[in-house]
């Protein structure tokens, strides 16, 4: 434990002032915009390629001033410095937290300066050694130099992993689909539900399939079970087609050509039968949910290639540098983190929507769920004392416009405050036109992305400014339904606009949210880099497994509810 006791945010003058403002707070975005013609420009900031408009947030100069003071009192900038310098700020695991080191370029002026040695290791040398190894392997697969055991080139890469060893790679793969090499496909198996691996492999040709077993610990039940199922599947498929006999030598040879691994536990990789030559390491200073830009992303490197991956890493680094060098007053991740604190701790928002207006980011909300909630869903602080305020909002979302036709009703007119981040790009990957139009609302030749973006702009406008009862009446609406058709407005949103969904922009977005999480975690005084809360369920699953498999004495030792449920399951199980 190297860290001092955290500041209790609730004891600061800034917190007390914010609590005073929140008491009876009556936001007035219409009035605020009318009174201040510069509001939009004053609250619009740039972080690398991301233009971020906070002006439709429930924020005033006074509120922002106190929030910034809170960030200063909590030492956000100092702790970020400590993090990127390799201090063991993950105190419960006594580890450095160095995901920012994964994207330090090989050359150039850097802070911390080179050589950057942490715990006796030159971090830059290690990171780039592994990156070069991943790049070399990816090039071999992409070029066809790496083949399966029968000499055919690899067409499908199946990543087997869960949590941070799945959500990041799958999200980025989906986000960067337009960059995927023709003839290559990646799939992702995560769930221990056998249907997952069954469905993902059902139509595959084993001779052209490469499995990547991605697991930081190489001890995760789901991943190792799926890896064994995949290995059996490979042997069976190759055996059935006559490409493999059932000698150990043949089987091991097939594993060597069809399995690689990404892990910090290379001894366990070897025990599984994967040649450590075909294993890519990383370090315990990379948390699972912060690892997409490590070798954990190997499936994506194969799919999009080393050059695009380098751009992806550069995108992260640009936002890391923004976070490090920009004064708090203009620091986008800090400002967004502070606004989240304002909404959740003072205005009592419980959740936060993330609404990407680009279909390619359709897994971004799911990815953020692990990043934000596994990081900040904590009830004790880094010194073991109880937190002094609520922590960890519930993050959720779906791509626009799908969400509009599903849950936006609640965001517009429900009783709960739901701050929402709207994310869009100016240039679509596929600029299609609706040549026909509908002859009414949609003109022939309509740019469909423009129509899509009209929705993006309309939603944040409607949420901010609403529609008054008088405006509804003025449309000739019957008095009885005026209340139902009125929109209160003052529903806070942040708009994030990027030029296009490049690898760099995807990296920038991830780093932005990593540092938002960091800002909030620092203010709450929690260790955002451990995840003890997932352990109990894992332990109990192993303990309960014999009972579920029919062991009567194991069943007997369960509590009455669990026992009855398992008994019912056993009755139903054919
Ligand atoms: O269950 C939580 C967790 O430890 C995550 O933090 C992690 O991303 C995931 O499991 C997978 O772990 P591993 O990469 O070690 O298989």
| Residue-wise pLDDT tens digits, 507-565 | 999 999 999 999 999 999 999 999 999 999 999 999 999 999 999 999 999 999 999 99
The answer, yes or no, to whether residue 308 has pLDDT greater than 70, is yes
- The predicted model scores a pTM of 0.98
- The whole-number pLDDT of residue 137 equals 98
User: Has 412 been annotated as catalytic?
Assistant: no
Residues 457 and 372 reside in one and the same domain = yes
Distance CA 288, CA 482 (A): 50
Q: How many domains does the chain have?
A: 3
The answer, yes or no, to whether residue 240 has pLDDT greater than 70, is yes
The answer, yes or no, to whether residue 2 has pLDDT greater than 60, is no
Question: Is 433 within a domain?
Answer: yes
Cross-sheet strand order for the sheet of 156-160: 185-189, 156-160, 209-214, 259-263, 279-281
The answer, yes or no, to whether residue 334 has pLDDT greater than 90, is yes
Question: Is 110 within a domain?
Answer: no
Pocket test for ligand 1, best of 95, 162, 167, 298 (most atoms within 8 A of CB): 162
| Residue with tokens 């001092």, as numbered in its chain | 4
Are 411 and 466 a contacting pair, CB within 8 Å?
Answer: no
The tokens describing 399, both together, are: 């791509």
Boundary-marking domain end, from 276, 306, 336:
306
Q: What are phi and psi of 153, to 5 degrees?
A: -75, 155
The tokens describing 491, both together, are: 């529903």
Where on the phi/psi map is residue 558: left (φ > 0), alpha (ψ -120 to 50), or beta? beta
Residues 520 and 545 reside in one and the same domain = no
Distance CA 411, CA 462 (A): 11
Are 390 and 411 a contacting pair, CB within 8 Å?
Answer: no
Question: Is 417 within a domain?
Answer: yes
Residues 127 and 83 reside in one and the same domain = no
Residues 431 and 357 reside in one and the same domain = yes
Residues 75 and 149 reside in one and the same domain = no
Residues 45 and 146 reside in one and the same domain = no
> What CATH number did the domain enclosing 425 receive?
3.40.50.10490
Residues 133 and 170 reside in one and the same domain = yes
Residues 51 and 154 reside in one and the same domain = no
CA of 165 to the centre of ligand 1 (A): 7
Under 8 Å CB-to-CB from 358, ≥6 apart: which residues?
399, 423, 424, 425, 428, 501
CA of 426 to the centre of ligand 1 (A): 35
Question: Is 92 within a domain?
Answer: no
**Residue 167 lies in domain:** 117-306
Question: Is 532 within a domain?
Answer: no
User: Has 378 been annotated as catalytic?
Assistant: no
CA of 564 to the centre of ligand 1 (A): 30
Ligand 1, atom 1: closest residue by C-alpha: 534
Residues 47 and 196 reside in one and the same domain = no
For the segment 16-42, the average pLDDT, to the nearest whole number, is 98
Residues 302 and 333 reside in one and the same domain = no
Question: Is 530 within a domain?
Answer: no
Pocket of ligand 1 (CB under 6 A): 162-165, 215-217, 220, 223, 288-289, 374, 531, 534
Active-site residue, selected from the candidate residues 311, 374, 398, 520: 374
Distance CA 92, CA 530 (A): 7
Residues 289 and 218 reside in one and the same domain = yes
User: Has 538 been annotated as catalytic?
Assistant: yes
Pocket test for ligand 1, best of 168, 265, 288 (most atoms within 8 A of CB): 288
The answer, yes or no, to whether residue 439 has pLDDT greater than 90, is no
Question: Is 332 within a domain?
Answer: yes
CA of 163 to the centre of ligand 1 (A): 5
Active-site residue, selected from the candidate residues 236, 405, 433, 461: 405
Distance CA 562, CA 574 (A): 20
Question: Is 182 within a domain?
Answer: yes
Residues 354 and 461 reside in one and the same domain = yes
The answer, yes or no, to whether residue 111 has pLDDT greater than 80, is yes
| CA dihedral sign of residues 87, 337, 354, 313 | negative
Distance CA 17, CA 70 (A): 10
Are 376 and 526 a contacting pair, CB within 8 Å?
Answer: yes
């Amino acid at each position: 434990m190297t860290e001092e006791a955290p500041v209790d945010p609730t004891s600061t003058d800034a917190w007390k002032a914010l609590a005073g403002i929140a008491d009876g707070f009556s936001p007035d975005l219409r009035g605020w915009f009318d009174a201040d013609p510069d509001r939009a420009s004053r609250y619009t900031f740039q972080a690398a390629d991301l233009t971020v408009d906070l002006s439709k947030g429930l924020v005033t100069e006074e509120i922002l001033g106190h929030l910034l003071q809170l960030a200063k009192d909590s030492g956000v900038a100092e702790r970020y410095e400590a993090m990127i310098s390799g201090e063991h700020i993950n105190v419960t695991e006594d580890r450095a937290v160095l995901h920012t080191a994964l994207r330090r370029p090989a050359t150039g002026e850097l802070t911390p300066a080179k050589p950057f040695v942490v715990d006796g290791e030159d971090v830059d040398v290690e990171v780039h050694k592994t990156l070069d190894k991943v790049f070399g392997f990816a090039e071999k697969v992409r070029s066809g130099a790496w083949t399966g055991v029968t000499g055919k080139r690899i067409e499908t890469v199946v990543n087997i992993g869960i949590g941070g060893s799945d959500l990041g790679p799958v999200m980025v793969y989906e986000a960067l689909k337009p960059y995927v090499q023709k003839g290559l496909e990646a799939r992702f198996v995560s769930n221990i539900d056998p249907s997952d691996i069954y469905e993902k492999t059902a139509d595959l040709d084993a001779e052209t399939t490469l499995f990547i077993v991605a697991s930081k610990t190489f001890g995760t039940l789901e991943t190792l079970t799926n890896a064994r199922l995949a290995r059996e599947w490979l042997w069976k498929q190759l055996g059935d087609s006559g490409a493999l006999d059932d000698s150990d030598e043949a089987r091991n040879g097939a594993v060597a050509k069809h399995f690689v691994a990404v892990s910090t536990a290379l001894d366990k990789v070897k025990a599984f039968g994967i040649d450590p030559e075909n294993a890519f390491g990383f370090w315990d200073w990379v948390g699972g949910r912060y690892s997409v830009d490590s070798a954990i992303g190997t499936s994506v490197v194969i799919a999009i290639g080393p050059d695009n991956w380098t751009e992806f890493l550069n995108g992260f680094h640009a936002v890391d540098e923004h976070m490090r060098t920009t004064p708090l007053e203009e620091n986008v991740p800090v400002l967004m983190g502070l606004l989240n604190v304002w909404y959740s701790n003072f205005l009592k928002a419980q959740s936060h929507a993330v609404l990407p207006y680009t279909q390619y980011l359709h897994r971004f909300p799911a990815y953020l769920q692990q990043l934000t909630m596994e990081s900040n869903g904590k009830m004790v602080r880094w010194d073991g004392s109880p937190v002094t305020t609520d922590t960890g909002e519930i993050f959720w979302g779906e791509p626009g416009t799908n969400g509009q036709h599903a849950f936006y009703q609640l965001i517009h007119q429900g009783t709960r405050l739901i701050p929402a981040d709207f994310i869009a790009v100016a240039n679509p990957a596929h600029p299609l036109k609706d040549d026909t139009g509908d002859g009414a609302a949609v003109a022939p030749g309509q740019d469909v992305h423009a129509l899509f973006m009209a929705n993006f702009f309309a939603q944040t406008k409607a949420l901010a400014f609403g529609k008054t009862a008088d405006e509804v009446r003025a449309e000739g609406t019957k008095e009885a339904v005026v209340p139902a058709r009125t929109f209160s407005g003052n529903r806070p949103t942040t708009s994030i606009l990027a030029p296009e969904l490049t690898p760099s922009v995807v990296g920038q977005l991830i780093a932005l949210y990593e540092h938002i999480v960091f800002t909030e975690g620092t203010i709450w005084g929690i260790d955002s880099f451990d995840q003890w809360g997932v352990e109990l369920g894992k332990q109990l699953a192993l303990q309960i497994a014999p009972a579920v498999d029919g062991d009567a004495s194991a069943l007997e030792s369960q509590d009455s509810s669990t026992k009855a449920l398992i008994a019912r399951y056993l009755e139903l199980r054919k």
